[in-house]
Structure 1
Amino acid sequence: MDGLLLDTEKLYFETRRDVLENYGIPFTKEDHVAYIAKGFPVTIQKLTKLVGSADLGKRVFDEAISLYNRRLQQGEVQVKKGAIELLKFLNQTHKRCYVTSSAAKDTIIQTTKITKIDQYFTDFISGDEVPHNKPAPDVYLYALQRTHADKTGTVVFEDSTSGVLSAVNAGLDVVLVPDWIKPQPTIQEKAVAVLPTLADAIPLLKKARTN
């Protein structure tokens, strides 16, 4: 969801940066990269290490999430280019679509409803439903089990290094649509395709149907 369907990473970065600045702690875009697609428990751990206190780390996290949610409600999160086109195509061709995100379940549901993309999905699968979040394969293995999907008939779309590794480690084909940081060539090579937008996947899917 984050960084692939929705342009949320910018807002996550800005809200954490602004809260940390209130405590006199600098936070850069380069720092934020380590937090992408890791899930909230890892985020809290990293913030705790950054500020040197478990209490302060949790306070920073809570304040940043509160600020994030206020700005989300104000409509500051945009749907990524090509996302609606791909989702409509998949729905029209009777494909089941699932959000499989490192985020918490309530966050996924809230965010997809506010941005009005919830209508395109069969269900939502979250990182807090499995023992280990991305880049471990747990969330995708759980998704396969829960949806009764066949690996050969499943394709994953990811935007980050940890997401690609999670899908590949689960034995799934993955299409990479980079967001903030373009993954290293060794990561790109693990994807079946690297595309500029989600809409660019439509011709590939049409071709796959005819083969």
Structure 2
Amino acid sequence: MTAGEIMKKKAVIFDMDGLMIDSERVTYDGYVKICSEYNYEMTLDFYKTLLGFRTNVINEKLKEHFGNGFPSEEIIRRVHIYIEQVFSEKGIPLKTGLLEILQYLKHKNYKLVVATSSHRTRVEKILKDAGISRYFEGYVCGDEVVNGKPDKEIFIKACEKVNVKPEEAYVLEDSEMGVLAAYNANISCICVPDMKYPTEKIKAKTYKVVDNLLEALDIIKEDEKRLEGLGYA
């Protein structure tokens, strides 16, 4: 463990899409459906390159990939409507272990904050509708930072929001861009991959890589026991 990782943690910073909410597959389905209506093909490989970025960057990447004639703003808008319709009809799908980790961390008095590339209006609605907004002390959203992930800004602001040092926090992330942002902020990142497993280069910048949030919780509990043994408790 590094010096930052061995320090007693006071906060846990959560990404949203793909980490707490099982939204990436719905989003991909939306892009496939709506792009096809304009005679474009959204492949899974290309979609994975969009993960973790803010809307403005996704817009640029779509135009770069498909050409300047691609109606990216309209398609992004329609994809968001598609996601809202699916969530409204089927409910908001939570990732395995989310409620367990939130309940445990809250019980142990960790400060919990969301740091996501999504816009605040979307974040507030989704987390409220999912019934989990009460667990968090605040949000830092993609429309509230100058530089999106992989820049460290969003995670530094998340630490400031709950008054902790970066080395006193964990970040839970699913995307490579999120992992890089946490690394750049000097925050221990537990990566829970969703649609794309991190490359070895990215994996080396994480604290741990696990399969689900229950395993992430196990890592946190193990760290607590280790720190107790070292007299940090």
Report if TM-score (shorter chain) is over 0.5: yes
Match of 2:142 in 1: 127
CA–CA distance in 1 between the matches of 2:221 and 2:68?
52
Match of 2:61 in 1: 46
CA–CA distance in 2 between the matches of 1:206 and 1:62?
41
Displacement of 1:185 in angstroms is 1.2
Specify the SS of the correspondent of 2:189. strand
For the pair 1:209 / 2:224, whether they are aligned, the reply is yes
Unaligned runs of 5+ in 2: 1-15, 228-233
Which residue among 114, 118, 124 is the counterpart of 2:129?
114
Greater relative contact order (CA < 8 Å, ≥ 6 in sequence): 2
Match of 1:169 in 2: 184
Backbone CA RMSD of aligned residues: 1.6
Contact 1:160 1:178 in 2 (8 A): yes
Match of 2:166 in 1: 151
Which residue among 157, 160, 178 is the counterpart of 2:193?
178
Specify the SS of the correspondent of 1:97. strand
Displacement of 1:59 in angstroms is 1.2
Displacement of 1:55 in angstroms is 7.6
**Pairing 1:182-197 to 2, within 5 Å after superposition:** 182-197=197-212
Match of 2:80 in 1: 65
Displacement of 1:150 in angstroms is 1.7
CA–CA distance in 2 between the matches of 1:196 and 1:55?
36
**TM-score of the two chains, using structure 1 as the length reference:** 0.94
Specify the SS of the correspondent of 1:133. coil
Specify the SS of the correspondent of 2:115. strand
Larger displacement relative to structure 2 (130-139 or 73-82): 73-82
Larger displacement relative to structure 2 (37-46 or 91-100): 37-46
**Pairing 1:27-38 to 2, within 5 Å after superposition:** 27-38=42-53
Displacement of 1:188 in angstroms is 1.1
Write the deviation string for residues 37-83 of structure 1: whole angstroms up to 9, x where unpaired.
10111122223334434682211111111111111222353100011
Match of 2:118 in 1: 103
Evaluate the alpha carbon distance shift between residue 201 and residue 57 of structure 1 in structure 2; reply closer, same or farther with a 3 A threshold: closer
Counterpart of 2:59 in structure 1: which amino acid? Answer: I
Which ranges of 4 or more aligned residues in structure 1 deviate by more than 4 Å? Answer: none
Match of 1:82 in 2: 97
Specify the SS of the correspondent of 1:191. coil
Evaluate the alpha carbon distance shift between residue 54 and residue 133 of structure 1 in structure 2; reply closer, same or farther with a 3 A threshold: farther
Contact 2:191 2:206 in 1 (8 A): yes
Alignment coverage as a number of residue pairs: 211
Counterpart of 2:107 in structure 1: which amino acid? Answer: Q
Larger displacement relative to structure 2 (153-162 or 65-74): 65-74
Displacement of 1:181 in angstroms is 0.9
CA–CA distance in 2 between the matches of 1:51 and 1:207?
46
